[in-house]
Amino acid sequence: MKVYKAYAKVNIFLKITGKRGAYHEIVSRFMKVENLYDELSFTPKEFEYFEIVGNFSCTTKQNTIYKAYEALLEYTKSESLKKLMVKYAINVKKNIPAFAGLGGGSSDAATYLKMCNSVLHLGLSLNELATIGLKVGADVPFFIYGYKSANVSGIGEVVEEFSEPLLEFDVYTPKVEISTPKVYASYRDSFYNPLDDAKIQELKVTSSLQILNTLTPKEANDLFSPALKEYKQLQNHHRDGYFFSGSGSSFFKVKES
């Protein structure tokens, strides 16, 4: 069976711009990590229940792939989708660490949606898939569009391609499981300082390389300070010159050429 790649991402910068109910609005530059990806494929199975084969710590119903299946089924009411998942399991070779700020779960969900759209000839546009994906997670639309680099804003639903060369990264993920809601709550309680419009526009037109050359890790990512406050052991893992991705716990830097 064909194998599909679900790529990781890093956040070159991540700034909070405001609140929307229980959510935080952001502006962020997402960039694909070319050398880090999960591998997804359909594989025949014996039993009729929905099956994900892979190394996951969550239950099937908590898995983003299952949530993507439910969202796709709700949107399409497709009988062929039901039949597909009766006959086939979704096999995931997991290479992207979980709880890492690299978007692994979101990328898996997006890749699954695109696989089903292709295999079943559902004819859904990328915009439709992104709308479905947003029900699964805020980062899913970026992975649906498949851009190398993009400015992502709102709560993740606004994805604008940013034209620039793809950078190569060294990425490492300490064994610190971080709760994204906990980090955002800490930001809201102790660090809340949303970015103004002029600074947002400036960041959105600046290249990723320039941003990484001019900002410190704490300046680039509003979630780094609250993550350090809530998970003090992170400080022991931070190496000079490395930036923090998402709500962590991964660090990255551009590979030396």
Residue 249, preceding bond cis, omega within 30 degrees? yes
pLDDT category of residue 139 using cuts at 50, 70 and 90: very high
CATH of region 169-254, choose from 3.10.150.10, 3.20.20.80, 3.30.460.10, 3.30.70.890 = 3.30.70.890
The rounded mean pLDDT for the chain is 94
Q: pLDDT tens digit string along 96-107?
A: 998 899 999 999
Q: Is the pLDDT of residue 44 over 80?
A: yes
Q: Is the pLDDT of residue 257 over 90?
A: no
pLDDT for res 98: 87
Region 9-14: what's the mean pLDDT?
A: 97
Task: Give percent of the chain with pLDDT exceeding 90.
Answer: 85
Beta carbons of 169 and 96 less than 8 angstroms apart:
no
pLDDT for res 223: 96
How far is the C-alpha of 188 from the C-alpha of 223, rounded, in Å?
Answer: 10
User: Among residues 16, 18, 26, which one has the least CA distance to residue 156?
Assistant: 26
pLDDT for res 194: 84
Region 108-112: what's the mean pLDDT?
A: 98
Q: In what helix (H) or strand (E) does residue 153 lie, and over which residues does it extend?
A: strand 149-154
**Residue owning tokens 């980062």:** 139
Task: Give percent of the chain with pLDDT exceeding 70.
Answer: 100
Q: How far is residue 120 from each of residues 83, 85, 116, 123, 124, measured CA to CA in Å?
A: 10, 11, 6, 9, 10
Q: Please work out, in degrees rounded to the nearest 5, the angle formed at the alpha carbon of residue 186 by the alpha carbons of 181 and 188.
A: 95
Beta carbons of 15 and 139 less than 8 angstroms apart:
no
Q: Where are the domains of the chain?
A: 4-161, 169-254
Q: How many CB atoms lie within 10 A of CB 60?
A: 13
| Poorest-pLDDT segment among 16-25, 76-85, 227-236, 241-250 | 16-25
pLDDT for res 54: 93
Residues tagged active-site: 9, 139
Three-state DSSP class for 144? helix
Region 55-75: what's the mean pLDDT?
A: 94
Q: How many CB atoms lie within 10 A of CB 4?
A: 18
pLDDT for res 156: 85
Q: pLDDT tens digit string along 142-182?
A: 999 999 999 999 988 899 999 999 999 999 999 998 988 99
How far is the C-alpha of 115 from the C-alpha of 106, rounded, in Å?
Answer: 14
Beta carbons of 113 and 84 less than 8 angstroms apart:
no
Token pair for residue 177? 């499981």
How far is the C-alpha of 106 from the C-alpha of 142, rounded, in Å?
Answer: 9
Query: 4-161 — its CATH code?
Result: 3.30.230.10
The dihedral built from the CA positions of residue 211, 213, 214 and 216, taken in this order, carries a sign that is positive
